[in-house]
Amino acid sequence: MLLLPASTSLLLLGIAAALAVRRDVGRGLFHDHDSAPPDRRLLGSPTAQALRGERGMLLAWLLGTGGFAFVLGVVSASVSPTDISTSLRQQLEKLGLSSVVTPSGYLSLTFLFFIFAVSLFCCSQVGAARREEAEQQLETLLALPVARRRWLAGRIVLAAVAAAVLSLVAGVLAWAGAASQSVDVALAGLVEAGANCLPVALLFLGIGMLAFAVLPRASTGIAYGLTIFAFVWELFGAILGAPSWTLNLSPFHHVGLVPAQPFRPGAAAAMLAIAAASSIAAVLVFERRDLTGQ
């Protein structure tokens, strides 16, 4: 197995050397063009312009999330009680995950990580908004007849819609992977598991955007820091025997692992209400503050 990467490296180095002697200094094998016809697609509104700027990253998230979900669906066919040690079962029971020994339970557990992934995607959208401001792109945009409220509200809506697409694609492709191995898991159950990602993800989106409006320079760190800390605490807090009230501080603790566990509408409604209130507050605060550079 060690010969494969070594031989591949030698082959690529040989190809690179052969190509290098055929090109001019400072120019690649494929020439760049100094001019191009104007491309006005997705420039009709601030939200469309944000989609244009983020479409490559959105596609990468979509392909990565969907591909990983499909692989996990395929792997779920190999899960059986005999593969789980007694000590691991005891640790999973502390987390309320005793049903993980079945394919359905395994997929339910993996969707906890998809909730985390979609939440990180929402954090990346906070970072994208901050980057647009720090690089003075936003200053140029707001010099046009574009309202601050419209710009940030559009950013939030775009992030929420993209998060919903990611979540649902994860659910559908996890089912497709499981179905390819004849695993008896309902499509509706995994679509619900995908939709179950949204309350937590939108909660962190709202909090992150509020941080962007109040503390712009620290907003990206706040969004990522809160999300990562809440997830890690949910994973290890119960195992370490932390008091229940501290575990309740993590939004991940209030998520039912669908489809093995029932959906928790009360907790989801509370998180969505906080997300909506935070987003509205972010728009109102951002409308009244100065733009902040690096």
Q: What is the pLDDT of residues 19-37, one digit of tens each?
A: 888 887 777 777 777 777 8
Assess whether pLDDT exceeds 60 at residue 172. yes
- What is the percent of the chain with per-residue pLDDT over 70, rounded to a whole number? 93
Q: Hey, is 166 helix, strand or coil?
A: helix
Domain that holds residue 240: 45-286
Global confidence as pTM: 0.84
- At residue 254, φ and ψ (nearest 5 deg) are -105, 15
pLDDT-derived band at 99 (thresholds 50, 70, 90) equals low
Element (H, E) at 216: none
Distance CA 259, CA 262 (A): 7
What is the CA angle 252-253-254, rounded to 5?
Answer: 90
Residue 216, domain member (yes or no): yes
Residue 28, domain member (yes or no): no
Residue 294, domain member (yes or no): no
Distance CA 6, CA 122 (A): 39
Residue 127, domain member (yes or no): yes
Nearest to 207 by CA among 221, 194, 230, 223: 223
Predicted local confidence at residue 89, as pLDDT: 62
Predicted local confidence at residue 35, as pLDDT: 79
What is the CA angle 163-213-126, rounded to 5?
Answer: 30
For the ranges 33-47, 183-197, 226-240, which has the lowest average pLDDT? 33-47
Residue 18, domain member (yes or no): no
pLDDT-derived band at 255 (thresholds 50, 70, 90) equals very high
Instruction: Check: CB of residue 195 under 8 Å from CB of residue 171.
Output: yes
Listing DSSP states for 2-15 in one string gives -HHHHHHHHHHHHH
- What is the percent of the chain with per-residue pLDDT over 90, rounded to a whole number? 61
Residue 17, domain member (yes or no): no
Q: How many structural domains comprise the chain?
A: 1
| Residues in contact with 19: Cβ distance below 8 Å, sequence separation at least 6, in sequence order | 29
Six token digits for residue 187: 């499509």
Highest mean pLDDT among 16-30, 226-240, 273-287: 273-287
Instruction: Check: CB of residue 255 under 8 Å from CB of residue 270.
Output: no
Instruction: Check: CB of residue 60 under 8 Å from CB of residue 68.
Output: no
Residue 241, domain member (yes or no): yes
Residue 95, domain member (yes or no): yes
For the ranges 152-161, 187-196, 202-211, 236-245, which has the lowest average pLDDT? 236-245
| Residues in contact with 273: Cβ distance below 8 Å, sequence separation at least 6, in sequence order | none
- Please give the torsion angle defined by the CA atoms of residues 214, 218, 221 and 224, in that order, rounded to the nearest 10 degrees: 10
Average pLDDT taken over every residue of the chain: 89
Assess whether pLDDT exceeds 80 at residue 94. no
Predicted local confidence at residue 286, as pLDDT: 95
Predicted local confidence at residue 97, as pLDDT: 58
More confident: 186 or 92: 186
Distance CA 155, CA 19 (A): 43
For the ranges 40-44, 50-54, 181-185, 186-190, which has the lowest average pLDDT? 40-44
